[in-house]
Amino acid sequence: MALREILHYPDPRLRTKAKPVVAVDEVIRTLVDDMFETMYAAPGIGLAATQINVHQRVIVVDVSRDQDQPLCLINPEIVSTEGSESTEEGCLSVPDVFETVNRAEAIRVRALDRNGALKEFDATGLMAVCIQHEMDHLEGKLFVDRLSELKRLRIRKKFDKLQRRAV
Ligand code: NI
């Protein structure tokens, strides 16, 4: 296993649309293992392959308090949604920014697991939020895109300033 570098906003590579995984093989399983290690080390509750510059449709999630319920979703699809809810979100690619985002309250998800088996299940609460957030990454979208223009501009300015300071 290996820790992978997490891309930070406004890195344009975060805007890449991920491609479907063709075969769940050892390469994908190694990617999944690395993603879990990187997510737990951060620490975070979700990570999309896009965030480590791998543009394949893979996400990992663990919203349990003890971080002992790893869930890996390959080629995830949202089959249906219900209701809407606003939750404060953060993102490992947008450090130190927490903003309220509106998303579906309950979702039905279809995805392959790490053995390539097709699973379908319902998610609510933090799990539903997290899966929707990570699936946005696979489309090249970030949670800041869902905020008002004013908030987005303020965040963009902050990160541009940080970047200038780092150069
Ligand atoms: Ni994120």
pLDDT tens profile 76-86: 999 999 999 99
Q: Of the residues 5, 99, 134, 139, which is catalytic?
A: 134
pLDDT tens profile 90-125: 999 999 999 999 999 999 999 999 999 999 999 999
3-class SS letters over the chain: CCCCCCCCCCCHHHHCCCECCCCCCHHHHHHHHHHHHHHHHCCCCEEEHHHHCCCECEEEECCCCCCCCCEEEEEEEEEEEECCEEEEEEECCEEEEEEEEEECCEEEEEEECCCCCEEEEEEEHHHHHHHHHHHHHHCCCCHHHHCCHHHHHHHHHHHHHHHHHHC
- Report the pLDDT averaged over residues 54-72: 97
- Report the pLDDT averaged over residues 69-73: 98
Q: Is 99 a catalytic residue?
A: no
What is the whole-number distance in angstroms between the Cα of residue 115 and the centre of ligand 1?
A: 25
How confident is residue 163, by pLDDT bands cut at 50, 70 and 90? confident
pLDDT tens profile 1-35: 799 999 999 999 999 999 999 999 999 999 999 99
What is the whole-number distance in angstroms between the Cα of residue 46 and the centre of ligand 1?
A: 7
- The pLDDT value given to residue 162: 86
What is the whole-number distance in angstroms between the Cα of residue 26 and the centre of ligand 1?
A: 25
pLDDT tens profile 119-159: 999 999 999 999 999 999 999 999 999 999 999 999 999 99
User: What does pTM read for this prediction?
Assistant: 0.96
What is the whole-number distance in angstroms between the Cα of residue 19 and the centre of ligand 1?
A: 18
- The pLDDT value given to residue 1: 76
Q: How far is CA 34 from CA 41, 66, 98, 113, in A?
A: 10, 19, 25, 16
